Structure 1
Amino acid sequence: MVYPERFSNLPAHAWPRLRALLDVHEGGGEPIHMTIGEPKHAFPAWVTDKITEHAAGFNSYPPNDGAPALKEAICGFVSRRYGVPLDAESQVMALNGTREGLYNAVMALCPETKAGGKPAILMPNPFYQVYMIASLSVAADPVMVPATTESGHLPDYHSLPDGILNRTTAAFICSPANPQGAVASYEYWRGLIELAEKYDFRIFADECYSEIYRNEAPVGALQVAHETGADPDRVVIFHSLSKRSNLPGLRSGFVASSAENITQIKQLRNYAGSPLPLPIQLASAAVWNDEEHVIENRAMYVEKYDIADRVLGNVPGYASPEAGFFLWLPVKSDEEAAVKLWRETGVRVLPGGYLAQDWNGENPGQGYIRAAMVAPKAETARGIELIRDCLYPQ
């Protein structure tokens, strides 16, 4: 049996690697799970009622691109949040979570060749793994650009040579960043949009952590493109209810862009996509229309930021996250630190190297561990204190 070569050199995925690393050891206490970014705050209680209210919709095939009520709610969110007017019929599409959209946008929008050669797709390193898989699926070179302390934990795409930029068809950016919590400024977005205009590529803005922040709401890519008068085809944004509303199991998100980009993405969905069930779509509309629960949720994360700052603030190299719900903590060896923490305390974290790939012989994630602050406040505080006592003794 012959299999595709494009996936033949993939490393093991982060989660099986983590289990292989830790499960051979006995945990040193009651487990505290700080590995996966799965929110554990309560979602709005009325979501279940909304699904039940529209349960008859499970008896019908759902609208492929999103029910009118859902698309209107999405446009309302984008308008309130970013001041950008969108046409519900032509500029948004509902997604089964952002991962589906991030993958299929590459399939639908990235050409097979550019500048007479193999295309390149840019991504931060560390990165969300779907960026790499999407690139390989369209036979593009995934160009992993380090997002380190020196670059403000965001990739410096301007530093790439013309030979790569001339072949670039798309650039991924996650802001707020997973795992570092860095936020792209207005100036960063404007500079990237100018680079995309110069070298003719699209920006895929993964903004699923946009509603979890400490002080000021992160600026959005579509907002900057709108305000600077950029080509509307240049930016594609992706959002989700998973983090914003503590609904990762709902698998509900959206993609928004120009009408031409969305037409191409919808066409792919017509042939190869799977729309959200109608009751999920209508419940999602209600969630996008409500901001009260988002404000309450954000306040709980701010309390956790404060706990982390208080407990870890004296750790050399500690960087308080601007947004998101991860701690990106410096260590000498990521795997050794994760094993030590598990064996001595029962706290499970993710080695940073599992979220990155070698670039010029170095893996920019290997000097870090990622700890997700998703559990209730008391459990999160206990986990952070155990991390300090185990890995950073005074």
Structure 2
Amino acid sequence: MNNNLTHLHPYPFAKMATLLENSSPALDYTEIKLGIGEPKHAPPAFVLDVLQENLDTLARYPTTSGMFELRQTIAHWLEKRFFLQHVNPNSQVLPVMGSREAIFSFVQAVINHDGNNDEPTVVMPNPFYQIYEGAAILAEATPHFVPCTPANNFKGSYRSVPKEVWTRTQLLFVCNPNNPTGSVMTMDDWEYLIRLSDQHDFIIASDECYSELYFDEAPIGLLQACAALGRDNFKNCVVFHSLSKRS
């Protein structure tokens, strides 16, 4: 058993349930559900039809990389949405069952205890998606929190992170658009972080689960910023997307 499990915190909804367990709801008001990540609407009929037509495929285990047709569709969507020249569906796209599980596994794979870095660090915004912290702790890395405040437009002041922290950093998490603040990264923000990544050789993991929720102008994603800088190989950059939020 990983002893670092004792350092993990309960999820916010679990904390809320504990706080409210002895309270009585006000019967005059309608309950407002905050768990909006799970789609509640009826699935479109054509989706159910396709599922029924392909039930025979449930008789075998899926491959880790998934169907080529799915990866190709994802690659084409990324190219269209983020103005990319080419995304390789075989080497640059990997379907997952959920972004939380993918983020956790990614952190375990990325953090390296090779003896040259006795305190590998994961930089993340605060407030944050709790899996960032939990995955870092279980990988025996040190979380470094960048506060998102009104003074920095709720994006986090990455320019205020001390240089000695960046020298230990192996992974940087960015949430864009940010949850829960709603702030978005500009091209200048991305370029600054990409240059830092080049300088200190850390990976940027951009959590873009909310990329399709916006009022007018679509947020600039990490891959889009890379392409604008001529970095079509997306060196040290990985992006996580999710279907559940946009559904």
Q: 1:16 corresponds to which residue?
A: 14
Describe how 1:44-63 pairs up with structure 2 within 5 A: 44-63=44-63
Give the distance between the partners of 2:194 and 2:109, measured in 1 at CA.
20
Distance 1:142 1:114, change over 3 A: farther
SS in structure 2 of the partner of residue 132 of structure 1? helix
Does residue 140 in structure 1 map to residue 141 in structure 2?
yes
Work out which of the residue numbers 13, 24, 27 in structure 2 matches 1:26: 24
Describe how 1:50-129 pairs up with structure 2 within 5 A: 50-84=50-84, 85-113=86-114, 115-129=116-130
C-alpha contact (below 8 Å) 1:98/1:239 kept by paired residues? yes
Q: 2:2 corresponds to which residue?
A: 4
Query: What displacement does 1:108 show?
Result: 1.8
Query: What displacement does 1:205 show?
Result: 0.5
Query: What displacement does 1:80 show?
Result: 0.7
Query: What displacement does 1:42 show?
Result: 4.8
Does residue 208 in structure 1 map to residue 209 in structure 2?
yes
SS in structure 2 of the partner of residue 203 of structure 1? strand
Q: 1:220 corresponds to which residue?
A: 221
Give the distance between the partners of 2:92 and 2:82, measured in 1 at CA.
15
Q: 1:160 corresponds to which residue?
A: 161
C-alpha contact (below 8 Å) 2:7/2:137 kept by paired residues? no
Give the distance between the partners of 1:37 and 1:127, measured in 2 at CA.
17
Corresponding letter in the other structure for 1:93: L
Query: What displacement does 1:8 show?
Result: 1.1
Taking structure 2 as the reference length, the TM-score comes to 0.92
| Rg larger for | 1
Computed over aligned residues only, the root mean square deviation of the Cα atoms, in angstroms, reads 1.7
Identify unmatched segments of 5+ residues in structure 2.
Answer: none
C-alpha contact (below 8 Å) 1:158/1:195 kept by paired residues? no
SS in structure 2 of the partner of residue 71 of structure 1? helix
Work out which of the residue numbers 221, 237, 242 in structure 2 matches 1:240: 242
Give the distance between the partners of 2:216 and 2:124, measured in 1 at CA.
27
Taking structure 1 as the reference length, the TM-score comes to 0.59
Give the distance between the partners of 1:15 and 1:193, measured in 2 at CA.
34
Give the distance between the partners of 2:101 and 2:10, measured in 1 at CA.
20
Higher relative contact order (CA 8 A, sep 6+): 1
C-alpha contact (below 8 Å) 2:184/2:219 kept by paired residues? yes
Q: 2:177 corresponds to which residue?
A: 176
Matched pairs, number: 243
Give the distance between the partners of 2:166 and 2:16, measured in 1 at CA.
35
Describe how 1:355-394 pairs up with structure 2 within 5 A: none
SS in structure 2 of the partner of residue 166 of structure 1? helix
C-alpha contact (below 8 Å) 2:2/2:138 kept by paired residues? no
Distance 1:114 1:161, change over 3 A: farther
Distance 1:68 1:116, change over 3 A: closer
Query: What displacement does 1:240 show?
Result: 1.1
Query: What displacement does 1:40 show?
Result: 3.5
Matched-pair identity in %:
34
C-alpha contact (below 8 Å) 1:112/1:138 kept by paired residues? no
Give the distance between the partners of 1:145 and 1:78, measured in 2 at CA.
28
Distance 1:202 1:151, change over 3 A: same
Query: What displacement does 1:41 show?
Result: 4.6
Q: Which runs of 4+ in 1 moved over 6 A?
A: none
Residues 89-124 of structure 1: CA deviation (Å, up to 9, x unaligned): 111111011112111111222322475321000111
Corresponding letter in the other structure for 1:28: A
Q: 2:200 corresponds to which residue?
A: 199
Query: What displacement does 1:189 show?
Result: 1.1
Distance 1:44 1:153, change over 3 A: farther
C-alpha contact (below 8 Å) 1:115/1:167 kept by paired residues? no
Corresponding letter in the other structure for 1:10: L
Identify unmatched segments of 5+ residues in structure 1.
Answer: 247-394
Distance 1:109 1:149, change over 3 A: same
